[in-house]
Amino acid sequence: MKIHLINTLGTLGITVALFISLGFGAANAATASSAGEARYQQERQSCLDGSSNQDRATCLKEASAARTAQLTTADARKLQDNAAQRCLVHHSSEDRLACERPAQGEGTRTGSVQRGGVLKELVTRSAAPLPAASAPR
């Protein structure tokens, strides 16, 4: 009973620590996103007031492309964090790893959200155990 309680408390501590770190990761992503937006507004303003060394159209296009790249990176981070959280329900490390690998892009994907769903498949091969040798007669 004592050992079970210690294991339960250890698991609880690890789970709490993971959720806290994921929370800080989300906060950092939000901060990075707002900083990226502020930078975009700054670059856009320099395009509009003529203080950049480019013509207005090119300057605005490049500022917009940089903003889009920043948003895409933040979205990818959020998706990775969500995938890690979904895999926490698995108690064994083997099951958790099997959950995380497709979420990280391993395996194949078929279908689409527009068509009703995305099927992720990861095939792992392992050797079957050899049958026990029977005793000689």
pLDDT at 4 over 60: no
pLDDT of amino acid 92: 92
DSSP 36-86: HHHHHHHHHHHHHHT-SSS-HHHHHHHHHHHHHHHHHHHHHHHHHHHHHHH
Q: 25 versus 114: which is more confidently predicted?
A: 114
- Do both 38 and 70 map to the same domain? yes
pTM of the full predicted structure? Answer: 0.38
- Count of domains for the chain: 2
- Do both 10 and 50 map to the same domain? yes
- Do both 109 and 58 map to the same domain? no
What's the chain's average pLDDT? 75
- Do both 112 and 72 map to the same domain? no
- C-beta atoms surrounding 63 within 10 Å: 22
- Do both 34 and 80 map to the same domain? yes
Q: State the pLDDT confidence band at 53, using cuts at 50, 70 and 90.
A: confident
- Do both 70 and 84 map to the same domain? yes
Q: State the pLDDT confidence band at 1, using cuts at 50, 70 and 90.
A: very low
Q: Which domain holds residue 44?
A: 2-89
